[in-house]
Amino acid sequence: MPNQQKIRNHKHLQFLGVLLHDPNIFHLNRRSVSGAFSVGLFMAFVPIPLQMIFAAIGAIVLRVNLPISVALVWITNPLTIPPIYYFTYKVGTWILQTPVRDIQFELSTHWLMGELGLIWQPLLLGCLVTSTVLALLGNLSIRLFWRLYVNQSWRKRRQDRAERKRQKKQKNNTG
């Protein structure tokens, strides 16, 4: 976990003021972690620059785990961006019932002005749908995982307690 004081004193987050002092943004509990997955996964698939800052703001405003929210944004990175955004573009074309254009992605201003102008609607719609679905699935998966983990821990505690009780009873009967 990053240093909480360092985050509170970060110059780009100062406009959030006292919201940075909420302990929930650094706690690891079912609500904060599942919410962090929602924020991080949603922002990872939104095609905007500075996703980490928006994920941080979302985590702070929604009072969910800040480091997890920001870390999940890195699902989209220079290696994964082309296949991810191509997939979201295809989702958008499927929803809009438009044909898929043969796109040769290249990171240049010329490409952005030419090709992006032709595909922006299905791309943005696909990004919105994908980010929403993944945010929901991430949240529900973490809640389910957390519940299963807690139930397993409680079951193990009961078994350990019963075993200690049995051993104590056995010791008293033999002693």
* pLDDT for residue 9 is more than 60: yes
* pLDDT for residue 42 is more than 90: yes
Average pLDDT over residues 89-115: 83
Query: Other C-beta atoms within 10 Å of 107: how many?
Result: 9
Residue 175's pLDDT is 58
pLDDT category at 39 given cuts 50, 70, 90 is very high
Query: Other C-beta atoms within 10 Å of 113: how many?
Result: 9
* pLDDT for residue 108 is more than 90: no
pLDDT category at 10 given cuts 50, 70, 90 is confident
pLDDT category at 15 given cuts 50, 70, 90 is confident
Interatomic CA distance for residues 13 and 7, integer angstroms: 8
Structural tokens at position 37: 């997955």
From 49, 99, 51, 57, select the one nearest 73 (Cα to Cα).
51
Among 7-16, 26-35, 85-94, 157-166, the least confident range: 7-16
Spatial contact of 3 and 112, defined as CB atoms under 8 Å apart: no
pLDDT above 70 as % of the chain: 93
* pLDDT for residue 19 is more than 80: no
Interatomic CA distance for residues 63 and 175, integer angstroms: 56
Residue 94's pLDDT is 96
Residue 92's pLDDT is 96
Residue 117's pLDDT is 77
Average pLDDT over residues 90-115: 82
Q: Between the CA of residue 117 and those of 37, 40, 47, 98, 149, what are the distances in Å? A: 31, 27, 14, 15, 47
